[in-house]
Structure 1
Amino acid sequence: MRVSAQFSWCKGRFEAGFWFAMPALLLIALFFFVPVLAALALSFTDFDIYVLGDFSTLRFVGLSNYIRIMHDPLFWLALRNTLYFVLIGGSLSVVFSLVVALLVNHGLVRLRGLFRTLLFLPVVTTLVAIAVVWRYLYHQRYGAFNWLLEQFGISPVDWLGDIHWAMPAIILMAVWKNFGFNMIIFIAGLQSIPERLYEAARLDGAGALAQFRYITLPLLFPTFLFVSVITMIGYFQLFAEPYLMTQGGPSNHTLSLGLLMFNEGFRWWNMGYASALAFVLFIIILMVTLIQARLGKIVRTRQ
């Protein structure tokens, strides 16, 4: 009798919670799952601008869009550019945010609260405004970066027009824009490490480097893994920076998968092909995330 009553009580609570959550679940289904399923269906069609005038012209093409992607030189160029951005920009963002978090958290910088706010401001500032300012900084004749180079007798650089410097210029801006978010997460992770561990290490004669290697890094590893994964996911979706700064130039050397997807879908109206690109990008991100999670599990077991 007691088990039956407890089961009825749990069932009643579950039903009540389900009906309270139903409006939110419907909104999620309407604005997330339905568009995803629609995009998946579009990826198997030749949906373009002509279909909007006459839906009878819509054709099912099977895997043709995905086969076309594998033979598209622009896709491989965009994938190479995106991987370059993720590996270099993502690594710099994580390392730089960790260094700044250590400086701010351990009192090596005065007015820590003010510095946290100032360093986080780029994250909440609109990217359009930041891109306009940085384009002036990168200006070949009047930009601040070239002015600094001239002070050391170095010739001006065409930051956004040179195929060798355009992507590094975008990486620099992206790292400055995004590292503040990772810094806040690292600070939260650092503050969760008990201070008594550092006190015991200092009593045993451990220096700052030893404390960082044997205490900070192992205990901060879950936070480090989380930051690495979300940074990788965000950087794989590179779009706004090259769209606002270079339009994918020069010579497509800043063309990303996100920008290629946008051009195919909203400039050339090849919506079926753009949808296929979106799911290929999703598969790439999923595979890299699983690899990171697997490597993280291996490292944790060896600690």
Structure 2
Amino acid sequence: MHDVTGAFVAHRNLLFTVAYEMLGSAADAEDVLQETWLKWAGVEPGTVRDPRAYLVRITTRQALSHLRTLGRRKESYLGPWLPEPLLTTPDVAEDAELADSVSMAMLLVLETLTPTERAVFVLREVFDLAYDEIAGAVDKTPAAVRQIAHRARAHVAARRPRGVASAAETRRTVEAFRRAVETGDLRGLLDVLAPDVVLLTDGGGVVRAALEPVVGAERVAGVLARIAATTTLQPARVNGDPALIVRMDGAVDTVLAMRVEDGRVTGLYAVRNPEKLSHLERETALSR
């Protein structure tokens, strides 16, 4: 017999992480957890041998359903759609694989997979579930899951950032970036930005944001030069990586997450949509 509430609480952070990595949305991941709990609470005690595997299966199925709905919402989204940023606990950064899997850059790569490919990739590569366990979660045979995993792995490998920076290098680069923006040091900013840097801004049609990617160091620097005068930049750890929270009159205005390669910023992800900024006043615990 299992303790229904105890088992759910014990695995809650894991289940949230599974749902978030599949959806890129903390709000939707919370909805998935509510649905998982309702289904779990209705399971007859004593009929489940492995509560963790059973809960992951329920969560995956619910997340797949949400993923298809979310896909339709994104089709009508105004401008670039970026994942919902999370203020993460220090232990996330210490788990290199987990931190990589929830980084903005990786979540955007996962966006290019089909819903089933994304579920299989996350469960296999991040959570190391066996093929037969994944098969039960996605309603496929283990042989089919193995093929899907191979295809998804190749797809991600072709699109993921090449030169992954060390934590120390990323920290130094983000700090140099922050100083340059705060002091209006255009030369310093151009030194830290890669020549082909890409800035994506997500305003969701609610606040002002570029509707297309801004490409190139000079164009990106021009955009960034406008934000220092009226804002403060707060260093934070977002999605496992060093990032900056831009505050205006004390309130969160924008989250600036970055991709760093070879000591330079190659990708900037500016989340401005207010609906996506609610998880930045408290840390979110993630786990594998």
Which structure ranks higher in relative contact order (CA pairs < 8 Å, sequence separation ≥ 6)?
1
TM bin, normalised by shorter chain, reads: under 0.3
Higher strand share: 2
Name the structure where helix makes up a greater proportion of residues. 1
TM-score (norm 2): 0.24
